[in-house]
């Protein structure tokens, strides 16, 4: 796969990742202002689908990114890429792994569903703002390449 196809796929996968991430976040904020009449189980199933789409898109975006590094014969000698890799590997990936665990393991297995939902909502509230700043920082690095 040549470099431009990998870069094109990288950016398309990022659109899917940021699209699914922000749609959950915005809907979540909306239900804080205007609680939904939908049964919780249905809302949580929507969250689970979106989080799994989010994680799949991020895996594709990272795979295409790493493939570009391979084609560039990257030797950790490019400053913006080094910082970007640190932000992705030590902030984005662990948060997405926790997100994936919450919706696919913690909540489905929880005896007290209401408590599990509250724990997950607190997690989403706590990570949303830092995640937005980290994403802006990564896009800045990728575009301006300081
Ligand atoms: C391990 C993870 C990642 C790697 C190895 C990686 C690597 C790369 C590489 C090599 C490019 C092409 C640079 C160029 O040719 O101009 C690129 C472009 C880009 N990446 Fe990533 N990336 C990763 C994750 C991300 C993430 C998580 C985001 C968004 C939050 C992101 C946003 C972008 C953007 C916006 C571009 C286009 C920049 C431009 O066209 O100037 N990347 N990435």
Give the mean pLDDT of 77-106: 96
What is the structure's pLDDT at 43? 85
The percent of residues above 90 in pLDDT, for the chain, comes to 73
pTM over 0.85: yes
Task: Give the residue, by CA position, lying nearest to ligand 1 atom 36.
Answer: 142
In the structure, which protein residues have their CB atom closer than 6 angstroms to any atom of ligand 1?
7, 10-11, 14, 61-62, 65-66, 68-69, 84-85, 88, 92, 135, 138-139, 142-143
Number of neighbouring beta carbons within 10 Å of residue 79? 11
What is the structure's pLDDT at 30? 82
Are 145 and 80 within 8 A, CB to CB? yes
Residue 32 has pLDDT above 90, yes or no: no
Task: Report the alpha-carbon distance of residue 8 to residue 71 in Å, rounded.
Answer: 14
């Amino acid at each position: 796969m040549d470099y431009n196809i990998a870069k094109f796929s990288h950016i398309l996968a990022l659109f899917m990742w940021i699209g699914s991430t922000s749609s959950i976040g915005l809907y979540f904020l909306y239900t804080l202002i205007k609680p939904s009449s939908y049964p919780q189980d249905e809302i949580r199933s929507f969250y689970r689908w979106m989080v799994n789409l989010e994680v799949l898109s991020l895996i594709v975006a990272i795979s295409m990114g790493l493939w570009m590094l391979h084609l560039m014969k990257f030797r950790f000698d490019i400053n913006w890429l080094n910082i970007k890799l640190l932000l992705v590997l030590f902030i984005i990936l662990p948060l997405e792994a926790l997100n994936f665990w919450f919706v696919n393991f913690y909540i489905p297995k929880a005896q007290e569903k209401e408590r599990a939902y509250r724990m997950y909502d607190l997690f989403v509230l706590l990570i949303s703002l830092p995640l937005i700043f980290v994403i802006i920082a990564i896009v800045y690095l990728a575009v301006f390449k300081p």
